[in-house]
Structure 1
Amino acid sequence: MPVHHLHKAQLSRQIKSEAEKLGFFACGISRAGALPQDARRVEQWLEKGMQGEMHYLTRNREKRYDATRLVEKARSVISVLISYYPQKELSEKSYYKIAKYAYGRDYHFVIKQKLSRLLQQIEQATGKRNARIFTDSAPVLDRAAARRAGLGFIGKNTTLISRRAGSFFFIGHIIIDLELAYDDEITENFCGNCTKCIDACPTGALSAFELDARRCISYLTIEYRGEKIPETFKGKWKQWIFGCDICQDVCPWNRKALPATEPAFQPSEALKNMTRRDWENLDKPTFKKLFKNTPLERTGWKGLQRNIRFLQDD
């Protein structure tokens, strides 16, 4: 994008075209500003204590609800989506299940790298900008910003759902001090009367458009730091040891899920070959070697051991 003083509609089109070349299947742009309805919804959710031990969600709240507090003179939020849907799920011999987003390398590195390149291209066209890159890494309401940029609607399972590609994707943003052409927010909901996600959740973590993290397998296997998983969940776990995809797997919109094209999100040969026994005998050095720079580092070897033990005692 070597041209200065591009018209904002033209510049916005070019940003989207560059985003596509970088591997994002969708890019939308919204005006930076407050998200009062989303702020109210999150505050009510926090009041009910549904965030469990995720104390970071209670910090920097004013920044979370307004992009202009994160970047001085912010005018626009450029939001992007990139698929992580695997071409093939882990084999039956693995027995234990990990969420599909964790099959490959840690997405934070991959997306930040791509967004840095996109920002460089924008700056080549417009000169140096005041901007910041985010991917699930700071107080940003990711799904709300992407919905505002016209990239999807929030489903009953609380994920952002793209009518073109389901919900197996990562979200990233550039908040920037640049006036651009804005996309129309999706205000309609396309779940209809479907309650498949709510009915399928084995621990009853979901009610329509609300997730109680304290009952969510994904939260309990990753974010929860307790020594033991509460006994009340015995027999409801379905072999998940890191994350859970049940509410996305049953969603009819995910018939449209796009297979990931990003090589970094493909599972390693070692992961593909893991058997039940391998998981159960995994020692710390092997864990470190196998899962370095992957999402599994978040729960750590000890957390993974706890999760496997919980299923073994079942």
Structure 2
Amino acid sequence: MDKREQRERIKEKALDIGFLACGISKADYLAEEQARLEKWLAEGMQGEMEYMSRNREKRLDPRLLHEGTKSVISVLLNYYPKETQKDPEAPVLSKYAYGTDYHFVLKDKLKDLLRFIQDEIAPCNARAFVDSAPVLDKAWAVRAGLGWIGKNTNLISVEHGSFFFIGELLIDLELEPDERIVSNHCGNCTRCIDACPTQAIIKPYVVDARRCISYQTIEQRGEIDEALSGKFDDRVFGCDICQDVCPWNLKSEPHDEEAFDPHPKLMGLSRNEWTNMDESLFAELFRKSAVKRTKYSGLMRNLKFIQSEKQSE
């Protein structure tokens, strides 16, 4: 089996496992990303995400993160939901957090893909990564021909939009890299920039995390920035606004991953039920969810903040 056939069999298997797309790139130093990352960090736009400042060399060179790495296999996993919240007055939960925490789902599928490679392609060593280590997921997905980085800094796929998770295998096989390069299709569109209620997209392709609703409701450990009061548009955990308005997401189709289906009670929660949620209901609804990351106390902080916004209107 030659390298090109190896690559195609791996990509075929990835689709069989349930991934939306798969691409392969040569493991190398991300020289183009270095200057952008350094500038972003120097301007403090990472906020309290101190981990973004650590392991910079590993973040830019996967060969330092997993010894022997020669190729990066990037995958996309759809999470666009079949339904959204029913009460238009209810606090809005980001779509990615409806079901089981994606870290577990995606990593399990990556391990399935690795077992296939080891059994059917060649003996190898690899590590699976899902948004929890110093890997520039979007940069590798671009190199693998899976899309381009939009003005909202999300990876956008011509075929699928942007409602997907990204993961990768750092593998010590020298695989044939994909030759596809997806050009930037944002054009003159500024819908994501115009729609962001906190003006977190300070200019095309640059997001100040400190102003981002997702950062404030998930990453921020202290109190939410009062300067952003009245601008959360009822978002209680995460935010999809810049994706919801993106024309490329007209191509989004509902996922078929059972693990991402929401708890039966979640979509029907009224505003009042959200506001009066106790710890037992929180534990029931979000037992396996990414919402657990903010804990009950964090969700209550977020609810209090958007409730005060409503009262001041």
Q: TM-score range by the shorter chain?
A: over 0.9
- How do 1:27-66 and structure 2 match up within 5 A? 27-66=22-61
Task: Please give the alpha-carbon distance, in whole angstroms, between the structure 2 residues aligned to 1:109 and 1:141.
Answer: 19
3-state SS, counterpart of residue 265 of structure 2:
helix
Report the TM-score, using the length of structure 1 for normalisation: 0.96
Distance 1:284 1:127, change over 3 A: same
Residue pairs, 1:180-195, within 5 angstroms: 180-184=175-179, 186=181, 188-195=183-190
Which letter maps to 1:66? D
Residue pair 1:94, 1:273 contacting (<8 A) in 2 also: no
AA partner of residue 65 (structure 2): L
AA in 2 matched with 1:84: Y
Q: Is the 8 A contact 2:76 2:165 kept in 1?
A: yes
Q: How does 1:59-98 map to 2 (within 5 A)?
A: 59-92=54-87, 95-98=90-93
Q: CA deviation at 1:220?
A: 0.2
The answer to whether the 8 Å contact 2:216/2:225 transfers is no
Equivalent residue, structure 1, for 2:283: 288
Q: 2:193 aligns with which of 184, 195, 198?
A: 198
- In 2: Cα distance, 1:47 partner to 1:187 partner: 29
SS of match in other structure, 1:313: helix
- Secondary structure of the residue that 1:30 maps to in structure 2? strand
**Inter-partner Cα distance in structure 2 for 1:236 and 1:16:** 42
Q: Which residue of 2 aligns with 1:151?
A: 146
List 4+ stretches of structure 1 deviating above 6 A.
none
Q: Distance in 2 between matches of 1:234 and 1:25?
A: 37
Distance 1:127 1:195 in 2: 46
Match of 1:221 among 197, 217, 225: 217
Structure 2 CA distance for aligned equivalents of residues 187 and 294 of structure 1:
33
1:23 maps to a residue whose letter is: G
Q: Deviations over 1:21-40 (max 9, x none)?
A: 11111000000011011121
- Separation of aligned partners in 1, 2:261 and 2:89: 16
Identity, % of aligned pairs? Answer: 53
Query: Which of residues 191, 208, 215 in structure 2 aligns to 1:212?
Result: 208
- Matched AA of 1:109: F
Q: Please report how far the alpha carbon of residue 156 of structure 1 lies from its aligned counterpart in structure 2 after TM superposition.
A: 0.2
Aligned residues: 308
261-270 vs 121-130, greater mean Cα deviation? 121-130
1:260 lines up with 2:255 in the alignment: yes
Cα distance in 1 for partners of 2:70, 2:263 equals: 40
Using the alignment, how far apart are the partners of 1:187 and 1:256 within structure 2?
17
Gapped regions of structure 2 (runs ≥ 5): none
Instruction: Tell me the residue number matched to 1:3.
Output: none
Deviation at 1:273, TM superposition (A): 2.2
Aligned twin of 1:269: 264
What's the secondary structure of 1:172's corresponding residue? strand
Does residue 17 in structure 1 map to residue 47 in structure 2?
Answer: no
- Corresponding residue for residue 98 of structure 2: 103
* Partner deviation per Cα, 1:86-144 (whole Å, 9 max, x = no partner): 11211125611011000110001101111101100100124431210001011100000
Letter in 2 for 1:221: T
How far apart are the structure 2 equivalents of 1:285 and 1:95? 19
User: Are the counterparts in 2 of residues 221 and 241 from structure 1 also a CA contact under 8 Å?
Assistant: yes
Q: RMSD between aligned alpha carbons?
A: 1.2
Structure 1 unaligned blocks of 5 or more: 1-5
Distance in 1 (alpha carbons) for counterparts of 2:83 and 2:177: 36
Amino acid at match of 1:209: Y
Aligned to 1:230: 225
Residue identity opposite 1:239 in structure 2: D
Q: Which amino acid in 2 is paired with 1:217?
A: I
1:112 matched to 2:96: no
Aligned partners of 2:122, 2:141: CA distance in 1, in Å? Answer: 26
| TM-score, normalising length: structure 2 | 0.96
**Offset from partner CA, 1:189-232 (integer Å, 9 cap, x none):** 11000000000000110020000000000100000011x32221
Separation in 2, partners of 1:39, 1:19: 30
> What SS is found at the alignment partner of 1:175?
strand
